[in-house]
Structure 1
């Protein structure tokens, strides 16, 4: 079992890592502004699933394999960086649309938001660094059983990320009325694109 100190340390570390603006939360704000609360929370579920995948990778020891095969780990970093660059380009070229507060998102838009959340997390260097480098320093993974993973770490991860993500979504909805102009939306999405590009550059720089 995990001790109280380890649980609190994990909650604090994960909450801080999630709250620091990065590609994931920046994209979440942008999508919430353009699509509303339902779109934002749908994207958040994709972001959370991506975190759970990396949590599972770290807990079940696959992180050790990744570190032992340096070339494979480098290839993964480069692939993730390339994907972030593609996302950055898409966000930079985003064509602003009129924000209709009462308009409901379509299933296609919700599916796109969910998939974007998942893929952004899987390609997010901040997420990778947390679960493969920081998590082992916070929790002794050798003592984490399947039961602890399923009954403690997964629920805690969902709770923390849902709480942090909800704050970002609600903040985005608060400023949504001020971002109805095309110029304001363009600035928001381009800012998100720049953050993704910087994250990609930082990830490549670590492998050189």
Structure 2
């Protein structure tokens, strides 16, 4: 992995992970309703889920890269279409944070698996990696070391983003309960997703 590719990957992941989605919505809803206490098992579950999707994406893309180059073109435009769809859904979403409540859990292990199920059941995560990786990384060059580097980079970015969301939600619980504030966040997220789609389409 080149430093340039790693920086581009980290930047794109930072933008994508920072915009509200099912996992972020659940995290923010948890902090708004109950504070930051007990939220770390959920965060770990989110990170493990993302790591699983990245591993699946790298393995799958690497396996077909040698023979089916045209598949990447189709995947690219499928990813663009999906990001635009997400942008539209976010733009028209109801500004109601109560819909994103975390499942109640009596133990850290249950909370971990609740977060893991949110991440693994979210096609947005898989589509992000499938659409992004072929555009910025030489798939043929990804080996075990490259995979490990991507995982390390992914962890650092997600940790930064998720802990930032947790901190901000904890400090601004009153503000984030406002329907107007949630609507503004949704519109900003929609614009970011549309911009990401445009960036992928022009590569």
Using the size of structure 2 for normalisation, the TM-score is 0.63
Alignment map for 1:119-130 (pairs within 5 Å): 119-130=117-128
Q: Take 1:34 and 1:28, find their aligned partners in 2: how far apart are those partners?
A: 10
Partner of 2:160: 163
Return closer, same or farther for 1:111/1:143 CA change in 2, 3 Å cut-off: same
- Alignment match of 1:173 (pick from 138, 157, 170): 170
> Alpha-carbon deviation of 1:111?
2.7
Count of matched residue pairs: 154
CA distance, structure 2, for counterparts of residue 12 and residue 128 of structure 1: 17
Q: 2: distance between equivalents of 1:33 and 1:63?
A: 41
Spell out the pairing of 1:1-208 with structure 2 (5 A cutoff).
2-61=1-60, 92=99, 108-150=106-148, 152-176=149-173, 178=174
Q: Is the 8 A contact 1:33 1:173 kept in 2?
A: yes
Cα distance change, pair 167–56 in 1 and its aligned pair in 2 (3 A) = same
Quote the Cα distance in structure 1 between the aligned partners of 2:34 and 2:140: 42
Deviation at residue 135 of structure 1 after TM alignment = 2.0
Q: Does the Cα contact within 8 Å between 2:57 and 2:130 map onto a contact in 1?
A: yes
Structure 1: stretches of 5+ with no match in the other structure: 68-90, 95-105, 192-208
Looking at structure 2, the residues matched to 156 and 56 of structure 1 have their Cα atoms a distance apart, in angstroms, of: 13
- TM-score normalised per structure 1: 0.61
Summarize the Cα distance change of 1:138–1:45 in structure 2 as closer, same or farther, 3 Å threshold.
same
Unaligned runs of 5+ in 2: 65-70, 72-97, 184-203
SS at match of 1:108: coil
Check the 8 A contact 1:63/1:132 in 2, yes or no.
no
Q: Write the deviation string for residues 135-176 of structure 1: whole angstroms up to 9, x where unpaired.
A: 2212122211012212x1111111000000001000111133
Matched position secondary structure for 2:20: coil
Q: After TM superposition, give the deviation of residue 61 of structure 1 in Å.
A: 2.1
Structure 1 pair 93/53, CA: closer, same or farther in 2 (3 Å)? closer
The structural deviation recorded for 1:14 is 0.6
